[in-house]
Chain A
Amino acid sequence: MKKSLLAIAFAAVALAASACGSSSSSSSSSAPAGGSTGAACSPASNKTLTANTLTIGTDNPAYYPYFSGGPGHEWSGQYNNDPYKDKGFEDAVAYAVAKQMGYSPSQVKWAVTHFNQSFSPGPKNFDFYLAQVSIKPNRAQNVDFSAPYYAANQAVVAIKGNPITKATSLADLKPYKLGSQVGTTSYDYITQNIQPSQQAQAYNTTNDAIHALENGQIDGLVVDLPTAFYMTAVQIPKSTIVGQFAPSPGGDQWGLVLSKGSSLTPCVEQAINALDRAGTLEQLRQTWLSEKASAPVLQ
């Protein structure tokens, strides 16, 4: 959700940039077979926020299916999830990265980080941050990104019975009032690809967007496909997925966020690449992101 899709040209650059980044770091730092942590990347030598502890930042509330352990610690409330429970896709990715870097689960600490704090120029309260942040070249000028750990499709959710549910193409969506979370790829997708005739609405949280959809203030809500499945199944039972959008070239890829020039970036990069090669990321996706239910593709 927390991401922005650029025009296709930019997305292609993003892919190229991330590809360059991963190839250079894998050649330089993950030379040991199996991508196990080298001497340069061990909990003892890593310059983390707290020695021998990996502090991971994420949003509060933390939403299903990226976090799914139910409320706990500072993450309280009906739809909130405690990241310490190691449940949900991103939660599992975070713990897998930590393990790959040599940290035991008890050495992982979670920090509440608002999305806007994740790219502030000053000291950060996390070693890395994950909350569905898309890798973009403009963003990469101000933070370090890891290699991507997921590529998401966008989808439209609507209340059953709304005329928008009959849409079968991007053009069919134009006359409707659409909304999304602010600062997300979903919002950019609306303004750049759908280009509706009415001004798109931008909400601060997913919960606000859900209220607006239920109140009829918007006809359709654009979110990531895994979020759409969760919304229609649990959060808004009277809603339905109108359709998903075909992935654009370069895709909408999520990466871990680190301070610009962080000494941890090569270590995190190395861990993600190792998990990717070992098939762990694919396995976690199958465990936590049920995409068996199909949604029609809107062209």
Chain B
Amino acid sequence: MLGGAGRNVAIASLSTVVFFTVLILVVVNAPGWENVKHAFFDPAEFRRYFKTIAHAFVLNIKVFLVAEVLILTFAMGLAVVRSLPGPVFFPLRLIAIIYTDVFRGIPTILLVYLFGFGIPALHLAHVPNDPVKLGGFALVVIYVAYVAEVYRAGIVSVHPSQEAAARSLGLTRGQTLRTVILPQAVRRVIPPLLNDFIGLQKDTALLAVLGPVEALQRANIAAASEFNYTPYVATAFFFVVITIPQARFTDWLINRQNRRQMAGGQI
């Protein structure tokens, strides 16, 4: 007979194998599986459009890289404004609260439409007409609202005694925020930040509605041309592939941070 741990491993393995075998059998033996396989998982279609979609995906990458830098910066500003203490700053806090409420509530695609087709229709001088910039701007506006809340959660999570200690050492309020509060706050919120960034990366596909041929729009064109959905699966593949290294990187960051905080100690 197997002992405790060995027995658990055996049961886990068996249950996993049974579960996935049943799942695969159910899908593969479904009456329409051959149709679905042909429509969504056609290897020839996948290969045919892999390169063109990869090429189009470069636009998605450019958009989210630029957007991420802007979002990190502006969201920090918004979070700090919303955390300002004292009655004097009430109007600023109010603006920050309204901003967050409004832009977290608006469906992203609606704002992309509004900025992408609405701003150029105003015919203002010196305002860009480029749908990629306008759509990217809409994404930044939305995600600043999300990310500011994440930052604020981090700021709130730093124990008030930290601020009291820093102030008693003679640091100003600004210095305390910059050198004591924020470094701890940001470290704590890196995993949820990454979560939002993965959301942002997927939302770059919304720029398709404004006309730029990014990965999703390229897949739309391919699917309409072949009457086959496999190009969409190829697009999903690219989005998944870029998120996995980011998830592992975050895991590594968290582990490193834990090791440093423990300073070699163990609990």
Contacts and interface: CB of A to CB of B under 8 A. Distances in A.
Interface of A: 2, 4, 115-116, 119-122, 136, 138-139, 141-143, 179, 182-184, 187-188, 199-204, 208-209, 211-212, 214-218
B199 interface: no
Contact of B35 (A122, A201, A218): A122
A122 B228 CA distance: 12
B39 A216 contact: no
Contacts of A215: 117, 120-121, 129
A202 B129 CA distance: 16
Interface string B210-238: 11110001001101111111000000000
Nearest to B121: A215
Contact of A182 (B131, B221, B227, B228): B221
B209 interface: yes
B209 A204 contact: yes
23 contacts: A2-B224, A4-B224, A4-B225, A119-B228, A121-B36, A121-B39, A122-B32, A139-B226, A142-B39, A142-B226, A142-B228, A179-B211, A182-B224, A183-B221, A183-B223, A184-B224, A187-B221, A199-B212, A202-B220, A212-B117, A215-B117, A216-B120, A217-B210
B88 to A, nearest CB: 43
Given A122-B32, A182-B208, A204-B209, 13 more contacts: A116-B223, A121-B38, A179-B211, A184-B224, A199-B212, A202-B217, A203-B209, A208-B117, A208-B211, A211-B117, A215-B117, A216-B120, A217-B131
A136 B225 contact: yes
A115 B224 contact: yes
Contacts of B40: 121
B223 to A, nearest CB: 7
Interface of B: 32, 35-36, 38-40, 117, 120-121, 129-131, 208-213, 217, 220-221, 223-229
Given A120-B39, A121-B38, A138 B225 contact: yes
Contacts, number: 90
Given A116-B223, A215-B117, A200 B213 contact: yes
A211 B228 CA distance: 29
A271 B221 CA distance: 31
B211 A203 contact: yes
Interface of B is mostly: helix
Nearest to A123: B32
Contacts of B210: 203, 208, 212, 217
A116 B222 CA distance: 12
A116 B229 CA distance: 9
A217 B211 contact: yes
B227 A142 contact: yes
Contacts of B226: 138-139, 142
A187 B211 CA distance: 11
B209 to A, nearest CB: 6
B220 A182 contact: yes
B70 to A, nearest CB: 22
Contacts of B39: 120-121, 142
> Lowest 8 A-B CB distances belong to which pairs?
A183-B224, A201-B211, A215-B120, A121-B35, A119-B227, A121-B39, A142-B227, A139-B227
A107 to B, nearest CB: 29
A183 B209 CA distance: 13
A204 B32 contact: no
A216 B129 contact: yes
A180 B70 CA distance: 32
Contacts of A188: 225
B211 A218 contact: yes
Nearest to B59: A199
A235 to B, nearest CB: 15
Contacts of A218: 211
Contacts of B223: 116, 183
Contacts of A139: 225-227
Contacts of B130: 217
